[in-house]
């Protein structure tokens, strides 16, 4: 289910839901809660795989044709205000006219790449370090989102109770 996941990650939601349901079913079959809790979701693993492939492309660890598709952003060096939030490897995202092209690997992953904090990308090429940092970043982002949702639910429950 993870083979070439960076390519089919842009598929329609109903297709990804079918794959995710197989993943959930496999987790139920395992039955051991300790093992299941340590496994990351298929969606999480897809995100890491996409960013890892993009990392390889960006640093030229691929065919020259792929490397030429990923261009550095010309605006990164011109804008001073937003530069503090960006890492130094920000790439240009071409404009899209169709939803299908917008969900393609390069466009979708370039947006996720540009959103990464500078602390995730190592100064020298090291794929293992990059993957572990992306994993940590995505897990902390999920944890922060869950806390935010939880706090908003508590606030909503408090307002309803009054």
> Which tokens belong to 109?
């992953």
> Which tokens belong to 115?
């959103």
HSE (side-chain half, CA atoms, 13 Å) at 58: 25
Band (pLDDT 50/70/90 cuts) for residue 146 is low
Q: Is the pTM of this model over 0.85?
A: no
Per-residue pLDDT of 66-107, as tens digits, reads 777 777 766 655 555 555 567 778 888 888 888 878 888 888
When divided into structural domains, the chain yields a total of 1
CA 80/CA 155 separation, integer angstroms:
37
Range of 20's domain? 5-161
Residue 154 has pLDDT above 70, yes or no: no
Residue linked to tokens 């960013």:
51
């Amino acid at each position: 289910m993870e083979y070439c996941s960076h390519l089919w990650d842009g598929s329609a939601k109903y297709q990804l839901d079918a794959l995710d349901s197989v993943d959930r079913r496999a987790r139920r079959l395992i039955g051991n809660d300790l093992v299941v809790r340590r496994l990351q979701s298929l969606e999480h693993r897809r995100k890491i795989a996409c960013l890892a492939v993009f990392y390889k492309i960006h640093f030229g660890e691929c065919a020259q044709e792929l490397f030429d598709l990923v261009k550095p952003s010309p605006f990164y060096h011109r804008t001073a205000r937003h530069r503090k939030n960006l890492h130094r490897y920000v790439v240009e995202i071409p404009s899209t006219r169709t939803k299908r092209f917008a969900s393609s690997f390069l466009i979708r992953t370039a947006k996720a790449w540009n959103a990464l904090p500078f602390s995730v990308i190592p100064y020298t090429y090291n794929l293992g370090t990059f993957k572990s940092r992306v994993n940590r970043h995505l897990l902390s982002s999920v944890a922060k989102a869950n806390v935010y949702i939880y706090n908003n639910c508590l606030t909503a429950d408090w307002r309803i109770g009054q």
